[in-house]
Amino acid sequence: MAPPLLMLQDIHINLGSVPLLRGAELAVGAGDRICLIGRNGSGKSTLLKIAAGLLPVDQGTRFIQPGATIRYLPQEPDLSGYATTLAYVEAGMGPGDDPYRAVSLLYSLGMTGEENPTHLSGGEARRAALARALAPEPDLLLLDEPTNHLDLPAIEWLESELGRLRTGLVLISHDRRLLTNLSRSLIWLDRGTTRRVDRGFAAYDDWREELMAQEEAEHHKLSRQIAREEDWMRYGVTARRKRNVRRVGELADLRERYRDRNTVATGAKMAASEAEGSGKLVFVAEGVAKAYDRPIVRDLDLRVIRGDRLGIVGPNGAGKSTLLKLLTGQVDPDQGKIRIGTNLETVTLDQQRATLDPTRTLSDTLTGGLGDMVQVGDEKRHVIGYMKDFMFKPEQARTPVGTLSGGERGRVLLACALARPSNLLILDEPTNDLDFETLDLLQDMLADYAGTVLLVSHDRDFLDRVVTSTLAAEGDGRWTEYAGGYSDMIIQRKADLPSRAAAQAMAKSASSAKPAGVASSTKKMSFKDVDALKKLPDQIAAMQAEIAKLQRQLADPQLYAKDPKKFAATTDKLSKTEADLATAEERWLELEVMREAMAGA
C-alpha cells in the first residue's frame, strides 16, 4: 500500500485554556476524496490549516510525502498586493506549471484576469482563489467552503472540475449535493477527535446514527439521561430527522396540490384570484418588466398564494434581489403591475448579520433586553428554553454575540426571525456558514411555518427539501416558474427543450411573415431545404460524436503539461463544434416546423 501524501497524527491544540483538538488525525492518499464533517466551531478549519502547514500545534506530528504539492483554499482569501487576478493566480504556480491553465481557469470562472483585486466582490474573490488553487493541478487539494459566495453555474462547474481531477482532495462544505457527488470517505470531527469511514457522504446520517447508538450504549451504565442531553445539545432532537421523513411526504403532497392548482387556474387566473378571498393572494405580477442598463425582468406573470414556498434561482447578477424588491413593493416596475396582498407581516433573514449587535449578549439579543422571556408569537417562553431549541447551551446566555462562530450567529438570526410574528418570510442565501444540524433546524422551521416563504439560495439540496416551486432566471430578463425543487426544475427544463426550440423557430418564422392584410400562402420548401432536412440528422449525430471525442481528450489531466498547443487547439475546436451543433439543431427545427406546416395545409 502506497504511503499517504499527508498524515496528521495525535494533533492537539488549545484555544486559550479550552482544548479544541484532542488527538485528531488525518491521512490522505493519492486520489482520495475526503469530506471533513463537524459542527460549526468544532475545529474543521483549524485542522485544515494545520494540514496546510499554516498553524503550529501544541502536540502531534505532521508528515508530507517528499516532493508532494499541496494547495489550500481558505474561507477568506487575501488578494492584497497583486495588480490583477491573473497575477494572483500565477503567483501560486510553480516553474513547471502551465501558465495557460491560469488563464483558462479564470475564463471558465467568468473572469478575464485583468480584474483589480481591490474591487472584487466576495464571489469574485472566491473564484480567483479557486483558480489559484486548481491551476497547478497539485497532488493534494485542501478546500475550505469552496462554494461560499458562488452561484449555481459556478458551483456546478466546480463540481465537474473537481470530479475530473485525479488529485487527492479534503473538502469542508455544507453543500450536501457537492459532498454526495464527490466524496468517497468521511472524517467526522467531534469533540476534538476524528473518526473515519471509507464511505461517501450519502452514508453520513446512517453512520452517525450508528456511532451515536454505540456511544449511548457505552454511557448507559453511567447516566442515560446525560447522554440524551448531550445528544440534544450537539445535534438537536433525534426525532427531528424522523419527522423529516414525514415532511418529505408532506412536501410531495404540497407540490402535487401546487401542480393541480396551476392546472385548474390556467386561463382563469382573475376569476380564481377573486374567488379566493382577502389575504389568500400574496403577490400577483402581470406583464411586469424592469430594466436598468439591461433587462432584469421581462414579461413576468407570477402568482404567489398564501402558504407557497417559492425558490428563486439564477446566476449572480441575474436580478434576484431586484425581483424581490419588485414583489415586495420596494421598487416600481417599468411596465405591468404588481398586486400585493393584504395584512402582510414580513420578516427578512439577514445573512449578512447586519442586524446583530456584537456587544449584546445572546440572551439580550433574543429578548430585546426586556428580561428573561422571549415573545414567540402569542406566547412567552423563557429564554433558556428557547435557546435550547436552537442548540445553545444555558451557559451561553451571557456570551456576547460577537464571539460566536458564523454558524452560531446564523442560529441566533433564525431564533430572532422565528420569534417575530410574520406571515411572509424572505430568506436571502440563508444557508451560508450553517452546519448540517442547523440546516435541519431551518428546514424544520420552514416545514412548521404557516405563512409564505420566498427563498433565494444556491444550495441545490436545500431547495429540493424546502420549496414547492422554483422561479428560475432563463437569461435576458426572462423568468420561468417550475413546480417542485431544483432537481424537478432540471428535469422539466430538459423535457421542455424541444418544445422551446420549436417555439423559438416558429416565432422566427412568424416574425419574417408578411404583414397582416397582405395576401400570403404557405411557404413551400425548396429542393435545398428538403435536402438539408434529410442530411442534418446525420450531420448533428456526427458533431455530437466529435464533441464527445474532444471532451474525452480534454478530460486527460496530463494534456495541459504534455502539449499546451494541442490543448488550446482542442479547446477551440470544441467551442466551434458546439456552436456549429447549436446552429444545425436550430436549422433542423426551423425546417421541421416548415414541413409540418405544409403537411397541415
Query: pLDDT digits over 244-288, tens only?
Result: 656 556 666 665 655 555 443 333 232 222 223 326 788 889 999
Check if 6-208 and 514-600 are the same fold: no
Q: Is the pLDDT of residue 31 over 70?
A: yes
Q: Tell me the helix, strand and coil percentages in the chain, rounded to 5.
A: 50, 20, 30
Position 91 confidence tier, pLDDT thresholds 50, 70, 90? very high
Position 8 confidence tier, pLDDT thresholds 50, 70, 90? very high
Sheet holding 6-15, edge to edge: 18-28, 6-15, 59-64
In CATH terms, the fold of domain 6-208 is Rossmann fold (3.40.50)
The average pLDDT across 472-486 equals 91
In CATH terms, the fold of domain 514-600 is Helix Hairpins (1.10.287)
The average pLDDT across 385-414 equals 82
Average pLDDT over the chain reads 80
Residue with cell 447516566: 223
Position 497 confidence tier, pLDDT thresholds 50, 70, 90? low
What is the structure's pLDDT at 429? 83
d(CA 145, CA 174) in angstroms, rounded, equals 7
At position 254, the amino acid (one-letter code) is L
Position 368 confidence tier, pLDDT thresholds 50, 70, 90? confident
Q: Is the pLDDT of residue 499 over 60?
A: no
What is the structure's pLDDT at 520? 36
* Residue 286, strand partner residues: 337
The average pLDDT across 45-71 equals 93
| 508 against 527, higher pLDDT | 527
Q: Which of 145-154, 253-262, 278-287, 427-436 has the lowest mean pLDDT?
A: 253-262
Q: Choose among 394, 447, 429, 479: nearest CA to 151.
A: 429
What is the structure's pLDDT at 183? 93
| 192 against 99, higher pLDDT | 192
The percent of residues above 70 in pLDDT, for the chain, comes to 81
Q: Which of 246-260, 321-335, 439-453, 489-503 has the lowest mean pLDDT?
A: 246-260
Q: Is the pLDDT of residue 231 over 70?
A: no
What is 252-345+422-489's CATH superfamily?
P-loop containing nucleotide triphosphate hydrolases (3.40.50.300)
The average pLDDT across 1-29 equals 87
Residue 283 corresponds to which cell in the numbers above? Answer: 403577490
Q: Is the pLDDT of residue 522 over 50?
A: no
Q: b or e along 54-87 (b: 16 or more beta carbons within 10 Å of the residue's beta carbon)?
A: eeebeebebebbeeebbbbbbbebebeebebbbe
The average pLDDT across 497-506 equals 51
What is the structure's pLDDT at 421? 79
What is the structure's pLDDT at 194? 94
Cα-based angle 294, 296, 301 (whole degrees, multiple of 5): 140
The average pLDDT across 165-171 equals 93
Q: Is the pLDDT of residue 300 over 70?
A: yes
Q: Is 395 exposed, middle or buried (0-12, 13-18, 19+ CB in 10 A)?
A: exposed
| 149 against 276, higher pLDDT | 149
| 327 against 554, higher pLDDT | 327
Residue with cell 477527535: 193
Report for 2-6, 69-73, 521-525: range of highest mean pLDDT = 69-73
Q: What global pTM score does this model have?
A: 0.68
Position 138 confidence tier, pLDDT thresholds 50, 70, 90? very high
d(CA 48, CA 141) in angstroms, rounded, equals 10
Position 511 confidence tier, pLDDT thresholds 50, 70, 90? very low
CB 51 within 8 A of CB 21: no
What is the structure's pLDDT at 264? 38
Domain residue limits, the chain: 6-208, 252-345+422-489, 514-600
Q: Choose among 30, 33, 26: nearest CA to 163.
A: 33
What is the structure's pLDDT at 559? 73
The average pLDDT across 517-541 equals 68
Neighbours of 312 (CB within 10 A): 26
DSSP helix/strand/coil, 348: strand
Is the Cα torsion angle 266, 267, 270, 274 positive or negative in sign?
A: negative
Position 375 confidence tier, pLDDT thresholds 50, 70, 90? confident
What is the structure's pLDDT at 516? 40
Q: Which of 303-307, 311-315, 404-408, 571-575 has the lowest mean pLDDT?
A: 404-408
Q: Is the pLDDT of residue 186 over 90?
A: yes
Position 415 confidence tier, pLDDT thresholds 50, 70, 90? confident
